[in-house]
A and B are shown apart, each in its own frame.
Chain A
Amino acid sequence: MAETKTYREALRDAMVHELDRDESVVLMGEDIGVYGGTHLITDGLYDEYGPKRIMDTPISEGGFTGAAIGMAMLGMRPIVEMMTWNFSFLASDQIIQNAAKVRYFSGGQVEVPLVIRGPNGGGVQLSAQHTHSLENLYGHFPGLKVVSPVTPNDAKGMMLTAVRDPNPVIFLEAGALYGTKGEVGEGDNAVPFGKARIAREGTDVTLIAYGRQVSLCMRAADALEEEDGVSAEVIDLRSIRPFDEDTLVKSVEKTHRAVAVQEQWKWFGVASEVAAIIQEQAFDYLDAPVQRVSGAEVPAPYARNLELAAFPSEKMVANAARRTLYIEEK
């Protein structure tokens, strides 16, 4: 059974499901309780579960993230809301130096079942300090799991998996898509980490993305089909760490061409990793160099036209695909 729900409702459903299932689950963050959450994801939960479980925190990202790590080490399962991931730099010492590593340097004596969630990426004119895509930053560190769902169904299913995972999970939400709707499985529809989703089947070129850029790739695939008669396959990675190399490689073995798309800056990004994996594992299948589509190398600007130009567009993706096919760009 499935119902049509927004991304926002799907996230909330998952957290309610786990709050009801497991007493050790608590929510923490800035204005998530009485105020109802900046993005209204947690609206109403304070009244239902009370202040011990729905904890409003001071504006103190390092402090409350660190405290959540301590709680997790004693068996609680905190879900921390980072109001936006841009604020996580203030908590990055806690996330990287403690959450990611404490299991290893304790010789396996502790676990950190912790979820840190919030909106990632830009697209809503928040300009430089409030626009980052941090999947490559957090994806770099062993000890963390990093996921980036784009459909409401995955938002719910991967949140269920995240809460039950015995490790720290960096849950990067497509903030610009909180209001988008999709079919969401009812009840316990947990979606495993490390399994990419083929969002659209195709035969001529593989477009690889995660998060909001998956939608862009879907539109670019439509354009390629209509304008060029090209059949593009779209892969939604879903999860950055663990990373599903098999689905990616199998697709490229079929299409012989690949375009890796990311909102973040080009250098040292996830798309570079995608390109490297393809050349390592599918080199002989390639008929063209792997193309990367990324954001412009600037801090995110405010003006709408500049912001649009700073991020990958449908046209940039379609043209990158055309380059792999040696057909004329449009």
Chain B
Amino acid sequence: MPAENGNSENGDVGREETRGEGTVATSGNGLVDVYREMVMVRTFEEACQKGFRSGKIGGYLHVYIGEEAVASGFLSAFKEGDRVITAYRDHPHALILGAEPKNVMAELYGKGTGLVKGKGGSMHLFDVENGLMGGYGIVGGHIPLGVGMAYAQRYQGSDHITQLYLGDGSMSNGAFHEAANLAGLWGKEGLCPCLFIVENNQYGMGTSVERTTAMTDLAAKFDAYGIENEKVDGMDVEAVMEVAQRAADHVRETGKPYAVEALTYRTASHGAADFMEKYRTKDEVDEWRQRDPIGLLEKKLLENGELDEEKLEEIKGETKELIDDAVKFADESDQPDISELYTDVYAGEDEYLGEK
């Protein structure tokens, strides 16, 4: 129940979210590939939860379970040379852009074979070669960076764009408002090809959108900065893909920012240590689970015959094997060499300025 349960009574009057009509040119293997990708992300996240519970993964762990259609849908519009920046719920962005699951898992396990050599952990996945400019741990803090990256893309004369992912929680932060203001301003000159993607999963940690802002139409907040915007059903990957393609094309063509609020839901807890979930009811979670993005797509693909039970099992089996291998790789990899403590502090000749 995305729109109903989320915002419809609280300010998005007259705004309609895009819902999938099966109009996206993703027939045949296209959608099956998207399905496989989403299953891979889900399986990866479940393996992370297991790793956290068994003490293999330290620090914080934030998984994307329930929100897969958002990253999968928007990244279907990613073109080589584009940039992606996000907050700390960043595993799917890295995986979908092409990082090997084994290197991502090794990062979470704190190993030298990790995506960032064991220096960042779950919240700081980077894969610059594939376009991922990072996951960031301070809510809202990465938003100005993404806007600056978009300016740089136009300043340097390319037609690339930046996909900037942000959560509903970050939109009460000053960094969001300052960055959105700059994006709107620079966009007037066609100098800010930034696609804002609001992953509205209804809660900033355990505080609902309704309890954090009197104006709960998050897309409409962009109006204040002259940034065109719309909403999409973030549980329906086809709908997301349709909006993503259209929005990305528009941003690429005009150099102006654009914002999409994807209404979604984190069926998993906020962090792996969030056991009680006092802030929401089991019924609410169950209700959203009815519209689980993977379940919805699976049903559709079975109905239209693009998948059958046998193929389904095959995909799930292959995915499980891939993630099992990733876990094994992470588990068996060595910790970073202790000399790595002192590298990468500074660029250039002297990487470290202290005593060893």
Contact of A105 among B116, B149, B348 (CB under 8 A): B116
Distance between Cα atoms of A312 and B149 in the complex (Å):
44
B124 close to chain A: CB less than 8 A: yes
Find chain B residues with CB under 8 A from A108 CB. 117, 343-344, 347
Number of chain B interface residues as a range: 35 or more
A71 touches B181 (CB 8 A): no
Q: Known contacts being A71-B148, A93-B175, A97-B141, is A107 close to B345, with CB within 8 Å?
A: no
Q: Known contacts being A70-B144, A74-B83, A76-B155, is A142 close to B182, with CB within 8 Å?
A: no
A106 touches B144 (CB 8 A): no
> Which residues in chain A, 43-88, are within 8 Å of chain B measured between CB atoms?
51-52, 57-58, 60, 62-76
Q: Known contacts being A57-B182, A62-B175, A67-B148, is A105 close to B156, with CB within 8 Å?
A: no
Contact of A142 among B116, B143, B343, B354 (CB under 8 A): B354
Distance between Cα atoms of A111 and B115 in the complex (Å):
17
Contact of B155 among A64, A71, A111 (CB under 8 A): A71
B144 touches A103 (CB 8 A): no
Tell me the smallest distance from the CB of A86 to a CB of chain B, in Å. Answer: 18
Contact of B347 among A51, A57, A76, A166 (CB under 8 A): A166
Give per-residue flags for A147-176: 1 if the beta carbon is below 8 A from chain B beta carbons, else 0: 000000000000000000111000000000
A70 touches B182 (CB 8 A): no
> Which residues in chain B, 304-337, are within 8 Å of chain A measured between CB atoms?
none
B152 close to chain A: CB less than 8 A: yes
B141 touches A66 (CB 8 A): yes
Stretch at the interface among B21-29, B126-134, B208-216, B289-297: B126-134
B152 touches A74 (CB 8 A): yes
Distance between Cα atoms of A140 and B145 in the complex (Å):
23
Q: Known contacts being A58-B185, A70-B145, A93-B138, is A63 close to B179, with CB within 8 Å?
A: yes
Q: Known contacts being A67-B144, A74-B149, is A109 close to B354, with CB within 8 Å?
A: no
A62 touches B347 (CB 8 A): no
Q: Which residue of B lies closest to A166 (CB)?
A: B347
Tell me the smallest distance from the CB of B88 to a CB of chain A, in Å. Answer: 11
A98 touches B347 (CB 8 A): no
Find chain B residues with CB under 8 A from A64 CB. 144, 178, 182
Find chain B residues with CB under 8 A from A105 CB. 116, 119-120, 124, 126, 134
Subset of 16 A-B contacts with CB under 8 Å: A26-B155, A58-B181, A58-B182, A66-B144, A66-B148, A67-B144, A70-B146, A73-B149, A74-B149, A93-B175, A98-B145, A106-B128, A107-B120, A107-B126, A107-B344, A110-B134
Interface residues of B (CB under 8 A from A): 83, 85, 114-120, 124, 126-128, 133-134, 136, 138, 141-153, 155-156, 174-175, 178-179, 181-182, 185, 189, 191, 343-348, 350, 353-354
Beyond A60-B182, A66-B141, A112-B347, 16 additional pairs, beta carbon < 8 A: A52-B191, A62-B175, A66-B144, A67-B145, A67-B147, A73-B133, A74-B148, A74-B152, A93-B138, A94-B141, A105-B116, A106-B124, A106-B128, A108-B117, A108-B344, A109-B127
